[in-house]
Amino acid sequence: MTNLYQVLGLEKSASADDIKRAYKKLAVQNHPDKGGDEKKFQEISNAYDVLSDPKKKQEYDSGGSNGNRFNGNHDDIFAHFFGRRGGGPQQPQKCNDILKPYKITLRDAFTGVKKTLKIKLKAFNLDKLKSCNDCNGMGRIKNIRNMGVFQQVFEMQCNSCSGTGSKNLEESAYEIEKTLELNIPKGIHNNNKICIDGCGEQPKVKNKKPGNLVFNIEVINNDAFTRDKDDLHSSIKIDFISSLCGANIQFNIMDEDKITFNTSDFNIVHPNKKYEFKEKGMPIQGTNKRGNLYIEFDVEYPTLTEEQKKGIKEMLK
């Protein structure tokens, strides 16, 4: 019969605190996720389950139990003790994402657009790969440093396979071509990112899933408009007489919208002043609303003779 005290390296006189400390140290050292033996981990968990419960411990100490009745999940004990899950089914690790810049025009950002792209991916025939023995195909090696009842785990790249996890990576590599549709929404901002699942770095080992392809959107400046968040700024040249007496203006916004107005609506037009047109700016991403448009008038002043100046002065009196 297994001696539960010996499993935890304790004497029968051990206190509750001694039992906790012993379990904590041994559970971390022997957990399967850290390279430990699963059977040993189960024995440790079973011993702690019995000896940490006063009723079970009393029954075991009196010889009424052999200590082998535990039917629960050993990882549940670990999770309860450490406040986290320590095992169970592991989710496949994901390969690295690939980040690519993608340039669009301000008009593309205004209208939204779909782009068809062809990409090439470097994939690997996993059945032909020979796993690196030094890192078990993981590409990284763990070093464990004991610090009293705690352990510090360091990870570093495996030198034997240069972090690839394989001994014959290039021999098993092949190229695949994919056609993608990149949907760019209205109102997208500079440096927004669009993610394409599974089109990033491809697995070099069987327990990994593909990374993602991430496009970093770069919006190219427009000669006619300047963007400020969801607002647009532009300018219009008018002559001096129009600035005083008014002029009919038809203004084109990205070849998608127009506004028509008379400058006399503003009375006298002031140069370098920004005039606001509500909800005539950029679409606000994810909504049906738009920012504002601000137009600045560049007034072209005529060259006047002294007689013309005198006449204007008399008229304005």
Q: Per residue of the chain (317 residues), what is the pLDDT tens digit?
A: 578 888 889 888 888 888 888 888 888 787 766 666 777 888 888 888 888 888 888 888 877 665 555 444 555 556 555 555 444 455 667 888 999 999 999 999 999 999 999 999 999 888 887 878 888 777 778 777 766 556 666 778 888 887 777 777 788 889 999 999 999 999 999 999 999 999 999 988 777 899 999 999 999 989 999 999 999 999 999 999 899 899 999 999 999 999 999 999 999 999 989 999 999 999 999 899 999 999 999 999 888 899 988 888 888 77
- Position 85 scores a pLDDT of 46
**pTM for the whole structure:** 0.62
- Position 173 scores a pLDDT of 87
- Position 74 scores a pLDDT of 52
**What is each CA distance from 281 to 221, 272, 289, in whole angstroms?**
15, 19, 9
- CA within 13 Å, CB half, 302: 12
Residues sharing a CB contact under 8 Å with residue 143, sequence separation 6 or more, in sequence order: 153, 154, 155, 156
Instruction: Please provide the CATH number assigned to the domain covering 226-316.
Output: 2.60.260.20
Helices (H) and strands (E) in the chain, counts: 8, 15
CATH classification (class only), 4-82: mainly alpha
E-strand spans in the chain?
Answer: 93-94, 98-105, 113-124, 140-147, 150-157, 173-184, 193-196, 208-209, 213-220, 226-228, 231-239, 248-253, 257-262, 274-277, 293-300
Q: Is the distance from CB of 52 to CB of 23 less than 8 angstroms?
A: yes
- Position 81 scores a pLDDT of 56
What are the structural domain ranges in the chain? 4-82, 226-316
- The candidate with the shortest Cα–Cα distance to 296, out of 268, 267, 276, 266, is 276
